[in-house]
Amino acid sequence: YFSAGSFENWRPDSNIFPQSVIGKQLVGWPGEYWLDSESQPLRFHGPIMQSRMALGSDKGCDGFDPDNVDAFAQTGTGWTISVAHQLTFNRFLADTAHSMGKLVALKNCLDLIPELYPYFDFAVVEQCAQYNECDLASPFVSAGKAVFEYVCLHGSPSSSAQSEDLTHNPSTKHRIFK
């Protein structure tokens, strides 16, 4: 795991990011801010993401789970991110991981799955059952690629009950991604 689409002020490489690419804070995540992936993202934070993946590779990681790669669909980032720029940045992440012989996940970014699934090895979706979005990951399944759901076990009693059912009942998990 690493955040590819946000600046986190506690990371060892945080001093490398130019202030000009740091946007608004992610709601609910103190010290984490959206990165500008519209204005020459590969020039500014592309090399930083390459370094993060190289570090992971050196430490023996088999793959990567880059987070916050859906800024184009978010409000309150401080930027207007186009779909084209988001696609370019996400493909860059996949190409970088593959150039190192590593697997790479497409995390969330559900709206762009039809365009991006060929470039990624598997998908990671958060709370897709809760938001009735699991079917959006079906291109991965149709291509024989895995889809993993992250489930938070806190929140409302109904979401917790649904999450418990999903995380502990393999037949339910199988049906979701069929």
Report the distance separating Cα 117 and Cα 112, nearest Å.
8
pLDDT in tens, 51-72: 999 999 999 999 999 999 999 9
CATH (domain of 153): 3.20.20
The predicted pLDDT at position 161 comes to: 44
As for how many domains the chain has, the answer is: 1
pLDDT tops 70 at residue 165: no
Closest listed residue to residue 108, CA positions, set 85, 86, 76, 88: 86
pLDDT tops 90 at residue 157: no
Q: Strands, E, within the chain: which ranges?
A: 2-3, 6-8, 22-25, 32-35, 63-64, 66-67, 103-107, 122-126, 146-150
More confident residue, 59 or 165: 59
What's the mean pLDDT when you consider all of the chain? 86
The predicted pLDDT at position 155 comes to: 52
Q: Roughly how many angstroms between the first and final C-alpha of the chain, as a whole number?
A: 26
Whole-prediction pTM: 0.85
> Sign of torsion, CA 113 117 120 125?
positive
Q: Which of 26-40, 111-125, 131-145 has the lowest mean pLDDT?
A: 26-40
pLDDT tops 60 at residue 159: no
Which range of residues forms the domain containing residue 79? 2-176
